[in-house]
Structure 1
């Protein structure tokens, strides 16, 4: 029978990108890890890792083998956590990915508090606007802000917050151009839009009535911070998630236009691979983010 401990050793070596860092993390001799991986390669009859004095690379078959070995490691960690009980303090590294705006608007104020709440846990955030494959790249959680439904996938999805999208403008712009009193009044105003293909907004109120409005495009940018700055400069009226413009609204540098109406909503969803979502550390992060965002929503 194959030694399953060698599978776990191999997963640790790949996770730490080398024998030396894995040896330090596991507090075992580097030679022991190298020997165990060599025995595993001999048993399987394939080369899993290409080793030179300067480079450490995983072979193609090694990458395929790693995905299964890593899954086995996660299952083993989850099984151990069940035995230790839920009262055990979460520990280890939790890898999170999010877009740059989501990292800035949603996570920047939460993750330092999370790290303080769980001192034995290491939080690693990767902020990027490229597509990230959670399973292939080894992430535990993805935080997604989205306007429409997310596509179906094998990932676990947990919706944790929904934010209204407000129409806002600077007091100076409204003093010069007048304050809209009804959606139809927006036709007489300049709009700061998020897309070249957009010609306005569809507004909805608490009674679920909707109206499509087509103001004159004055400025276009597909980045919310740019639209915020354009609104502050007095260029026109724009639509922004509440959390992005709340500080300016509270300071009086932006005013909400047509406060009985909203221009849609943005939902925050956490996504997790099934196996990683079972780990106590991952569950702790998910619950922490969900609870804090719920508290922020109830404060408004």
Structure 2
């Protein structure tokens, strides 16, 4: 492909009526302009300009070629304007994947507020607990909830919030099965859980002494849907480990009870993943900033102070 700069230089020489005037307008030496136009003519195999020490004229084919060069320059400038506008003002489509339970509790309000503030932005949000391939499926970002360590990948990870969780059950369930006094008693209770890597279904709890207890269990219900886990606990089917932003209202209303007061579970993390910080268009960058502001302004129940982050816990919305 020919160097498009040569076409630009040729068009400018014609527009300014000669090499000397183009030199003054562009700040490019006349010798350079002459050489580049000569190279263009050699590549095309035609004479575009007739020039001598006293005469400058555009050939017939040169005039036709000049018209096409002007059209090319106009299209290039229009393309640059599109990029400049996109970089300056949030606009265009933002494609987001988000766990279902986060939409009504945290993310939905961010979406509507952000769209109201930026009327040229369109948001396509998939509310799903499916782990999407951000790059292959064309998402700008995915919001995920899981236990650390976070995934090892080429994606950029922005932590939005660390949150506490609790093992919960309905009062009716506990009236039937009894309220456990020790972690070991959890093994005998029907459970609902997220899918675990390698089928390693265990509850991990820290006692008042800071010592970790690991309690195996066999869940009756296995699902990636946090709302379904919550409903299983509310309906008295099973106990479940859930983040506080899902269960706090039900705990306050007495519809759920937290098991083993004084024992704590490892903290989870709400985070956004996206392909790269470089080249983020304003619409995507602004939406990520809006998410961060939402979680900073309305923090959920803080994480317990003593548990360390442990891998192998439930992965929500991955």
TM (norm. structure 2) is 0.58
Give the Cα separation in 2 of the matches to 1:90 and 1:194. 37
Unaligned runs of 5+ residues in structure 2 are 6-78, 303-318
Give the Cα separation in 2 of the matches to 1:143 and 1:260. 31
SS at match of 1:201: strand
The answer as to whether partners of 1:163 and 1:242 remain within 8 angstroms in 2 is yes
**Could you tell me which residue of structure 2 aligns to residue 294 of structure 1?**
296
**Once the 2 structures are TM-superposed, how far is the Cα of residue 273 of structure 1 from its aligned partner?**
2.2
**5 Å matches for 1:142-181?**
142-181=142-181
Distance change (3 Å), C-alpha of 1:278 and 1:247 = same
The answer as to whether partners of 1:147 and 1:267 remain within 8 angstroms in 2 is yes
Give the Cα separation in 1 of the matches to 2:129 and 2:179. 36
Residue deviations 1:69-104 (CA, integer Å, cap 9, x gap): xxxx89x837973xx5xxxx5333222123445545
Task: Say whether residues 1:119 and 2:119 are aligned partners.
Answer: yes
**Could you tell me which residue of structure 1 aligns to residue 221 of structure 2?**
220
Runs of 4+ that moved beyond 6 A: none
Distance change (3 Å), C-alpha of 1:234 and 1:284 = same
Distance change (3 Å), C-alpha of 1:230 and 1:182 = same
The answer as to whether partners of 1:277 and 1:283 remain within 8 angstroms in 2 is no
**Could you tell me which residue of structure 2 aligns to residue 285 of structure 1?**
287
The answer as to whether partners of 1:78 and 1:279 remain within 8 angstroms in 2 is no
Distance change (3 Å), C-alpha of 1:134 and 1:200 = closer
Aligned partner (choices 234, 237, 246) of residue 236 of structure 2: 234
Unaligned runs of 5+ residues in structure 1 are 5-72
Distance change (3 Å), C-alpha of 1:258 and 1:299 = closer
Give the Cα separation in 2 of the matches to 1:112 and 1:206. 43
Residue deviations 1:187-220 (CA, integer Å, cap 9, x gap): 45443344593443111257642111245x4622
**Could you tell me which residue of structure 2 aligns to residue 77 of structure 1?**
83
The answer as to whether partners of 1:158 and 1:269 remain within 8 angstroms in 2 is yes
Give the RMSD, CA atoms, in angstroms.
Answer: 3.4
**Could you tell me which residue of structure 2 aligns to residue 266 of structure 1?**
268
> Larger Cα Rg: Structure 1 or Structure 2?
2
Structure with the greater relative contact order (CA < 8 A, sep ≥ 6): 1 or 2?
2
The size of the alignment, in residue pairs, is 225
**Could you tell me which residue of structure 1 aligns to residue 91 of structure 2?**
91
Give the Cα separation in 1 of the matches to 2:140 and 2:124. 10
The answer as to whether partners of 1:140 and 1:277 remain within 8 angstroms in 2 is no
**Once the 2 structures are TM-superposed, how far is the Cα of residue 167 of structure 1 from its aligned partner?**
0.5
**Could you tell me which residue of structure 2 aligns to residue 64 of structure 1?**
none
Distance change (3 Å), C-alpha of 1:173 and 1:141 = same
SS at match of 1:157: strand
SS at match of 1:291: helix
The answer as to whether partners of 1:195 and 1:220 remain within 8 angstroms in 2 is no
